[in-house]
């Protein structure tokens, strides 16, 4: 076990980054809602990855468990998940964050257009969050996951499956989840179409 003071300092930095990111994202979303009379977000979850989870991730990637390696190789110590109703909302939020001067994106993964083999689907943004400490500004990495409610439903069961079977997921469960992921993708597309249709009917009625 390393110097606990060093670990405390790291946790302080990550906690500050999480608070900063939450604040920046909430302000952007409130501004968007105020200007568009529309809130694209269903709910937001945030979390700091635990030291144990970070250690497991390092071991799985073949790295020694050290504080330096956590900083260098665990890119989602600070995590924010934005859950939306519709597919179009996911891309609206991505655009909003891309256009923000406060949040610096250094990597993007569109697992909606290109789902993982497991069926996992989400939009990931890896960003840098500035944290102002006594010795100056630190750019802390964070991961923002943006997904629909349906994708979130899938991912939460998948998370339990991964945890339960620890890498040895039975074939029928793996295939069942892949089929569910396809169903969920089709459901998301249908719900988006229905929402668009509903909007046009509402607009027609307003004209009358």
**Catalytic residues, which ones?**
143
Q: What is the DSSP string of 47-93?
A: EEPPHHHHHHHHHHTT----HHHHHHH-TTSEEEEEEESSHHHHHHH
Q: Is residue 135 helix, strand or coil? A: coil
CB nearest ligand 0O2: which residue?
Answer: 120
Contact mark string toward ligand 0O2, 4..43, x via CB under 6 A: ----------------------------------------
Contact mark string toward ligand 0O2, 99..118, x via CB under 6 A: ----------x------x-x
Bridge partners (DSSP) of residue 147 are 83
Q: How far is the CB of 20 from ligand 0O2 (least distance, A)?
A: 20
In the complex with ligand 0O2, the residue whose CB is nearer, 37 or 114, is: 114
Bridge partners (DSSP) of residue 105 are 127
Restricting to residues 65-94, which ones interact with ligand 0O2 according to CB under 6 A? 75-76
Q: How far is the CB of 205 from ligand 0O2 (least distance, A)?
A: 41
Q: Is residue 40 helix, strand or coil? A: coil
Residues present in the chain in total: 208
Q: How far is the CB of 50 from ligand 0O2 (least distance, A)?
A: 9
User: Any contact of residue 57 with ligand 0O2 (CB under 6 A)?
Assistant: yes
Strands 78-84 and 136-148: parallel
Alpha-carbon torsion (78, 20, 128, 71), positive or negative? negative
Q: Spell out the long-range contacts of 106-113 with Cβ–Cβ below 8 A and sequence spacing 24 or more.
A: 106/141, 112/87, 112/147, 112/151
In the complex with ligand 0O2, the residue whose CB is nearer, 28 or 161, is: 161
In the complex with ligand 0O2, the residue whose CB is nearer, 182 or 193, is: 182
Question: Binder to ligand 0O2 among 45, 72, 159, 164 (CB under 6 A)?
Answer: 159
Binding site for ligand 0O2 (CB under 6 A): 49, 53, 57, 75-76, 109, 116, 118, 120, 124, 155, 158-159
């Amino acid at each position: 076990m390393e110097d606990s003071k060093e670990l405390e300092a790291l946790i302080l930095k990550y906690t500050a980054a999480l608070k900063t990111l939450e604040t920046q994202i909430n302000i952007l979303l409130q501004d968007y809602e105020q200007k568009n009379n529309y809130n694209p977000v269903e709910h937001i979850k945030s979390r700091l990855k635990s030291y144990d989870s970070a250690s497991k991730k390092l071991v799985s990637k073949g790295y020694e468990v050290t504080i330096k390696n956590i900083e260098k190789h665990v890119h989602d110590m600070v995590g924010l998940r934005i859950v939306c109703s519709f597919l179009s909302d996911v891309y609206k939020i991505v655009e909003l964050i891309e256009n923000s001067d406060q949040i610096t994106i250094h990597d993007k993964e569109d697992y909606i257009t290109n789902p993982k083999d497991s069926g996992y689907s989400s939009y990931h943004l890896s960003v840098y969050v500035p944290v102002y400490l006594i010795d100056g500004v630190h750019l802390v990495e964070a991961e923002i996951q943006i997904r629909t409610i349906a994708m979130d439903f899938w991912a939460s069961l998948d998370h339990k499956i991964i945890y339960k079977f620890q890498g040895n997921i039975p074939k029928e469960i793996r295939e069942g989840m892949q089929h569910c992921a396809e169903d969920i993708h089709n459901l998301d597309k249908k719900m988006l179409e229905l929402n668009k249709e509903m909007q046009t009917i509402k607009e027609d009625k307003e004209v009358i």
